[in-house]
Amino acid sequence: MLKTEAKPIPRRRKWNTLQAREAQLAWLLILPTALIVFGLVIFPAIFNIWISFHKVGLNNLNDVFSAPYNGLDNYRSVFNDFSFKFQGMQSWGAAVTSIVYSVTGTILTIIVGLIAALLLNQPFRARGVVRAIFLIPYVAPIVSVAFVWRWILDPRPSGVVNDILMGLGVIELPKAYLATRGLALLLVILFEAWRYFPFAMLMILARLQAVDDTLYEAAEVDGANLWQKFRFITLPELRYVLGAIFLLRLMWTFNKFDDIFLLTGGGFGTKVLPVLTYEFSFRLFDFGRGAATAMILLVLLAVFMAVYIKVVMQNIESE
Amino acid sequence: MAGQTFSEAPPTARPSEKLNFFEHMARWMNWPRFITLLLILFFLTGILFPFYWMVSSSFKTYAEIGAREPVYIPSALRLDAYRELFDPASPSYWNFGRNIVNSLKVSIPTSLIAVVLSILGAYAVARLKFRGKNLLLNSILMVYLFPGVLLIIPLFAMISQVGARLGFEVQDNLPVLISTYLAQTLPVALYMLANYFRTIPSEIEQAGLIDGCSRLGVIWRITLPLSVPAIVSVIIYTFMIAWNEFLYAFIFLNSRTLFTMPIQINTIFNDPSPRPHVVMAASTIMTLPVVFLFLSLEKFLRQGLSAGGVKG
For residues B27, B32, B34, B38, the Cα torsion angle rounded to the nearest 10 degrees is -160
Residue A56 placed within a domain: no
Residues 6+ apart with CB under 8 A from B45: none
Cβ–Cβ gap A140/B287 under 8 Å: yes
Range B162-178 average pLDDT: 87
A218–B contact, CB cutoff 8 A: no
Q: Which residue has the higher pLDDT, A76 or B143?
A: A76
- The gap between the terminal CA atoms of chain B, to the nearest Å, is 29
Interface of A with B in 82-111 (CB under 8 A): none
Is the CB of B7 less than 8 angstroms away from the CB of A122? yes
CATH number of the structural domain spanning residue A204:
1.10.3720.10
Q: Cβ B121–A44 below 8 Å, yes or no?
A: no
Which among B54, B70, B125 has the least Cβ separation from residue A163? B70
Given a cut of 60, is residue A169 above it in pLDDT?
yes
Question: What integer is the mean pLDDT of A27-34?
Answer: 90
Query: Of B115, B143, B149, which to mutate for an interface test with A (greatest number of A Cβ within 10 Å)?
Result: B149
User: Residue A57's CB: how many other CB atoms inside 10 A?
Assistant: 13
Total domains in the fold of chain A: 1
> A124 and B32: CB-CB below 8 Å?
no
CA-nearest residue to B1 within chain A is A230
Query: What's the rounded mean pLDDT across residues A32-44?
Result: 90
Quick check: B13 pLDDT over 60?
no
DSSP string, B63-129: HHHTSSS--SS-SS---HHHHHHH-TTSSS---HHHHHHHHHHHHHHHHHHHHHHHHHHHHHHHH--
Q: Of the segments A77-81, B164-168, B282-286, B302-306, which one has the largest average pLDDT value? A: B282-286
Contact B120 A298 (CB under 8 A): no
Closest CB to A30 among B136, B265, B308: B136
pLDDT (mean) for B128-150:
83
Instruction: Verify whether the Cβ–Cβ distance A36 to B186 is below 8 Å.
Output: yes
Check if A258 contacts B (Cβ < 8 Å).
yes
List, for residues B30-72, the tens digit of each pLDDT value. Answer: 777 888 889 999 999 999 999 999 999 999 888 888 877 888 8
**Number of CB pairs < 8 Å for A and B?**
295
Nearest by CB to residue B54, choosing from A148, A154, A159, is: A148
Reported as a single tens digit per residue, the pLDDT across A245-282 is 998 899 999 999 999 999 998 888 889 999 999 999 99
Asked if ipTM goes beyond 0.90, one says: no
Q: How confident is the model at residue A7 (pLDDT cuts 50, 70, 90)?
A: low
Cα(A147)–Cα(A144) distance, integer angstroms: 5
Element (H, E) at B195: helix B174-199
Q: Are A246 and A110 in contact (CB under 8 A)?
A: yes
- Tell me whether A199 touches chain B (CB under 8 Å): yes
Return mean pLDDT, chain B: 84
Q: Which of B150, B151, B190 is the best substitution to test chain A (most A C-beta atoms within 10 A)?
A: B150
Q: Which of A43, A51, A136 sits opposite B153 (nearest CB)?
A: A51
| DSSP per-residue string spanning A268-298 | TT---HHHHHHHHHHTS-BHHHHHHHHHHHH
Q: Which of A27, A29, A56, A308 should one mutate to test binding to chain B, selecting the residue with the greatest count of B CBs within 10 A?
A: A29
Of all residues in chain B, the percent with pLDDT exceeding 90 is 30
Instruction: Provide the pLDDT for residue B7.
Output: 45
Overall pTM surpassing 0.90 (yes/no): no
Q: Is residue A45 part of a domain?
A: no
pLDDT of B143 reads 80
On the question of pLDDT at A51 being above 60, the answer is yes
Please, which residues bridge with residue A57 across strands? A286
pLDDT at B178 over 80: yes
Q: How confident is the model at residue B192 (pLDDT cuts 50, 70, 90)?
A: confident
Amino acid at B79: L
Q: pLDDT tens across A145-167, in order?
A: 999 999 999 888 888 888 888 88
Minimal CA separation from B17 to chain A, in Å: 24
Nearest CA in chain B to A149: B50
What's the rounded Cα separation, in Å, for the pair B150 and A290? Answer: 8
Domain assignment of residue A54, yes or no: no
Residues of B in contact with A121 (CB under 8 A): 1, 3
B287: distance to nearest CA of chain A, Å? 6
A276 touching chain B per CB within 8 A: no
Q: Which of A24, A144, A164, A249 to mutate to test the interface with B (most CBs of B within 10 A)?
A: A144
- Whether chain B has a CB inside 8 Å of the CB on A198: the answer is yes
A147 to chain B, closest Cα gap in Å: 8
Question: Domain range for residue A145?
Answer: 88-318
What is the Cα–Cα distance from A163 to A84, expressed in whole angstroms? 36
First to last CA, chain A: 72
Domain ranges across chain B? 4-86, 97-306
Chain B residue closest in CA terms to A63: B161
Task: Convert the pLDDT of each residue in A195-208 to its tens digit.
Answer: 999 999 988 988 88
- Choosing among 1.10.3720.10, 1.20.20.10, 1.10.760.10, 1.20.120.1730, the CATH entry for B97-306 is 1.10.3720.10
Residues of A in contact with B50 (CB under 8 A): 145, 148-149, 152
A114 vs A8, more confident: A114
Where does the pLDDT of residue B202 fall: very low under 50, low under 70, confident under 90, or very high at 90 and above? Answer: confident
Q: Indicate whether B213 pLDDT > 70.
A: yes
Q: Is A12 a domain residue?
A: no
d(CA A75, CA A73): 5
pLDDT score at B294? 86
CA angle B274–B52–A154, rounded 5-degree value: 35
Res. B236: pLDDT tops 50:
yes
Rounded to 5 degrees, what are φ and ψ at A287? -70, -30
Of B48, B129, B310, the CB nearest to A22: B129
Distance between CA atoms of residues A229 and A146, nearest Å: 38
Residue from A148, A173, A234 whose CB has the most chain B CBs within 10 Å, to mutate: A148
pLDDT, tens digit (0-9, with 9 covering 90-100), for A94-147 = 889 999 999 999 999 999 999 999 999 888 888 888 989 999 999 899 999 999
